[in-house]
Structures are given as structure tokens and as C-alpha cells.
Structure 1
Amino acid sequence: MVRLGRWLLLGFLIASIPLVGAGCGYRSQLPGASSRVGAAGDPGAAHRTRLAVMAIRNDSPEPWLDRIVGDALRREMGLRGRLDLVNDPQQADLVLRGRIRPLGTRSESFSSFVAALEYSVTMVLDLEIVRAGGLIVRLDPRMLSESELYLASADIEITRTNRLEALRHLSDVIASRVADSIELMEAPIPDVSNSPSESSPRTHPSAGPAKRGGG
């Protein structure tokens, strides 16, 4: 009888193990548990700035350059811990918008046959930040201009590819500067106009002296 009682007790203990596990699982699903875990997993979410990057207007003859620049801006902003990219500008704290000026291209070196070996391409952007309250900050034009060399070739497709790579590099460089400026932005100065091409806004105080926007 004693041995039989021991076997019954052992069987009861084994059968009760799944019930204990199920009870633990039930407690982990109590209301509010998942929300607390999510908040703990991203404690800085409430302190990040929501940013919308609008489609960049392309005033250059270079096809698809607006997409190249826009992708570079969104990619760089997405890497910054203080910024959250949003698609809806109505839900954003900051909205980035602007245009690409016509590109500047010139020959830099020549061969003995008076053929260009290298070209220099200059990219210039006009960008501004619109805050949720309607205040506008024109970003410093000096950081929105950069040049890059690319090699020429007798094969026009190779030259075209080299030029495209130079433009991608310029887009990445300028996008990094823009992201730095947005992260450091603290006290914007309002603009009196809503159009980048028609206004004469003041730049952010940390960006340098004010300049009139060119067309």
C-alpha cells in the first residue's frame, strides 16, 4: 500500500506540471503586459522628432535626380537616433522640402588630343524646414553645395555611369550635412513666405549668415 501511495503521489505531481506552466503563460498575457514591454524596449521614442521628407523638385535636366537625392535624405534621416521618419506631413514635427538647382559641369583636365579626361559636377540644393507651428527655417546654402570629379571615357555609357556615381556621392554628402543640421536645430527663425523660390528668409543662427535664395 505504501508503494502504491508513492506511485499515486508521483503521478499527481507529474500531471500538475503542465497546469503550472499554463498558469504562468496566462499571467504573462494579462492586460497591459505587452504595452509595458514595448515601452521599455524603446524608452526614447517619446523624445524623438517626427520628420517628413517631401518630394524634392528637380530643376536640373538630370533625369531621376530628385529620386536619388530624396532617397539619400530619407536614408540618412532614418539612421539618426533622434529622428523618426513619417510619411504624413500633417503628423510630423518637421517637414523637409526644397529643390535641386541646375547642375554645373565643367572640364577639369585634357589629353594631348584636346579631349576632356575629367569633369567636375556641382550640385546645389535649396532646402528648408517647416515646423509644425508653421515657422520656416532656410538651411544654410553653403552646406547645400558640393562638387565632385568623375572620369570621362570614349564610351558614352561609361562616362554616364561615372557621372551618376558622382551624383550619388554628392547626394550622400549633402544628406549627411542636412541631418546634422536638423539634429542641432534648436531655435528656428520664422520666414515670412512659404515658397523657397520667392522668399528671402533668414538662416538658422548656427548655420551662418543669411543669404537670399537664388533661382
Structure 2
Amino acid sequence: MDNATFNLIYNAMIETLLMVFVSGLISIILGVLLGIVVFITRPNHICSNKIIHASLSSVINIGRSIPFIILLVAIVPLTRFIVGTSIGTSAAIVPLTIGAIPFVARLSEALFSEMPYELIKASQAFGASKLQIIFYIIIPESISGIINIATITLITLVNYSAMAGTIGGGGLGDIAIRYGYQRFDLTIMIITVCLIIILVQIIQYLGDYFSKTFIDKRIQKQ
């Protein structure tokens, strides 16, 4: 591999990491918060509100129904409004984030639904406020599951970021398409695929490690 090819792939890797982790951080934070709101506004819950619950659930379902490749094109005007361009790494972060938020929100709601409701009722009986229940009961009790959701989301965003290369989003996907596919460069195609596989394996390993660490700490405290 010559220096030009190395620099090309190195820069693409940096772009992929930037896209995945910036969009991942934003979407995980907003998605988990959205999942909490949908969860606590369920009927007979601590902030029961049928209108908010139904509205947010519908928005999440609509967001999850749109294929990512269509979303990339559909929100080009919004992307251009936010970052000033529709091409490049910064532009790709916008659809990546918007596409991942509903995904994280639905997984988070399902995670919180597994929590014993008796635990929340007991907290209310001891006089805990709604915010205290959210930040001292719901989130801490679900932290291991949230880490698993974050792991799944980051891996999904790796795949999405490769897809963003089809519209000039940059990253490994862009290099694989422009140089590996369109210019029939098998070497670059193999290298980019291998790097994506390695990146996914590292994310999965770290996610499993931190999830297990939190579980072990909780067991030790008990």
C-alpha cells in the first residue's frame, strides 16, 4: 500500500469514527430521554398522559418506518439548513442522528418496561418525586441495558455511515464505493470491509465489557 492509499483510508476511517460517535452520542442521549417520556406517560404511570404518549409513539413509529437511504435524501434541505451543506462528514451526521433517535427511543421504552413497577410504586410511597424516580430509579436500574442499546446503536450507525457514502457522506463507505466499486480496486474494497468489521467487533467487545462490569458492581453491592 502506497502513502496516498494509506492517507486516503486513514482519513476515511477518521471520518467514519467522527460520524458514528458524534451522531451516536447525540442520538443515545435524546433517544433514551424520549424513551423515558414515552414510558412514564403510559396510562396509569407516574406522568400518565394519553395525548403525549400516543403522539410520541406515532412519531417514533414513523421515524423507524423510513428506510435510511430515503431519509438521507428526504432531509437534504434540513441538513443544508443546519450545517450549511448536504455533502461531507458533518452533513452525514444530521441524518444519522435523526435516523437513530427513534431506534434508541423504542429500544429504551422496551427496556424500561421490563422494570418491576412495584419498585416505582415503592419509591412513590417513600415520597420520591417524579424526577427522583427517573434519575435515581429508572435510569440507574437500567444502566446495563442502556449500554447494550448504545452498543447496538453504534454498530447500526457504522452500517448507516457506510450507506451515507452513496451521497458523498465521506468515510469508509464513500471510499469503498468511489474507489473500490466504481474504479474496480479490489484492494481498497477488501481493506475498507475489513476495517468496518474490526470497528464493529471493537464496539461489541467494549459494550459487552462495560455492561458486564456494571452488572458485577450491582451484584457486589447487593
Common fold by TM > 0.5: no
Bigger CA radius of gyration:
1
TM-score scaled to structure 1, two decimals?
0.31
- Hey, which of these two has a bigger chunk of helix by percent? 2
- Hey, which of these two has a bigger chunk of strand by percent? 1
TM-score scaled to structure 2, two decimals?
0.30
